[in-house]
Amino acid sequence: MASRAPGYSTATGRLMLGVRKWYYNLCGFNKLGLMRDDTIYEDSDVKEALRRLPENVYNDRTFRMKRAFDLSMKQQILPKDQWTKYEEDVNYLTPYLEEVIRERKEREEWMKK
């Protein structure tokens, strides 16, 4: 059986998951069909990470972004059954972004020598 930190219970874990889901829905991007990674500010690192995405993942992101922009211009949201669900939101960009940042930091360290 897995050990737990003192004072931690299954009820506490369920409560924290409930709070995370509540906050996720409160942010509102899911009501436009966006995923969490779609909302990351596009600096040079993010642009490079986007360039490295597989084509189908990049195309899915482009579709979500265009649809969200269109809905936003119309001041509308998707029907609730089309909202991005907390459980379905995946960090599709984060691994690529972490790799790009690690590589950039390595280059910066190399250039200091």
Backbone conformation region of residue 80, classed left if phi is above 0, alpha if psi is from -120 to 50, else beta: alpha
Evaluated on CA atoms 42, 49, 36, 57, the torsion sign reads: positive
Model pLDDT for residues 58-84, shown as the tens digit of each residue: 999 999 999 999 999 999 999 999 999
- Residue type (1 letter), 112: K
Q: What residue ranges do the domains of the chain occupy?
A: 10-112
The answer to whether residues 95 and 57 touch, using CB atoms and an 8 Å cutoff, is: no
pTM of the model: 0.79
Res. 7 pLDDT band, cuts 50 70 90: low
Measured CA to CA, the distance from residue 54 to residue 57 in angstroms comes to 5
- CATH code for 10-112? 1.10.1090.10
Percent of the chain residues past pLDDT 90, beyond the cut: 73
pLDDT of 1: 46
